[in-house]
Amino acid sequence: MVLQVMVFFLVLTVCGPVVSNAASGHFFVDANFGVASGHWVYNFSKSQFCINMGIFDDKVSSAQWSGLPQTGSFASNQSLVAFYTDRNCTGTVRTWPTAEKNFPTNFALDGIDNQISSFMVWQTSSHVQEIAPDPTFLD
């Protein structure tokens, strides 16, 4: 059965670095952004905010994103998107610049295929300021 779930997880807050209102992460079960086995989208509005994958834990093979901050405290004044192998933004981590190009097309090449359990946008540091409650999924 093809799993296609659209996830809407919008966090409104007044503290911490704010991401644009249209920030999202698009996650694919298949490599190369394939949708045959399923895909889902997380919408969110804050960086330094750890988001657990919930029922999609350990199922991601590729990812894209949009609306993330382009500047931050990292090399070349960049922000980064970080993918973790354990809940609560722990375990092995791999990062990519938030620029909307050169998305990870196959996490197997990075040694984390089907192992991602959480993610976070690093804008000011790699420190987790808050952990989101497990997301609510819509049918």
Q: What is the CATH number of the domain that holds 118?
A: 2.60.20.10
Contact 114, 60 (CB under 8 A): yes
- Three-point CA angle 90, 95, 97, nearest 5°: 145
Inside any domain, residue 107: yes
Which sign, positive or negative, has the C-alpha torsion 24, 59, 49, 78? negative
Inside any domain, residue 139: no
Classify strands 49-52 and 118-122 as parallel, antiparallel or unpaired: antiparallel
- Three-point CA angle 20, 138, 51, nearest 5°: 45
Q: What are the pLDDT digits (tens) for 10-66?
A: 232 323 444 545 799 999 999 999 999 999 999 998 899 999 998 889 999 999 999
In this prediction the pTM is 0.82
Classify strands 130-131 and 49-52 as parallel, antiparallel or unpaired: parallel
Mean pLDDT of 78-107: 96
Structural domains counted in the chain:
1
Inside any domain, residue 101: yes
Which structural domain, as residue segments, surrounds residue 125? 3-131
Inside any domain, residue 136: no
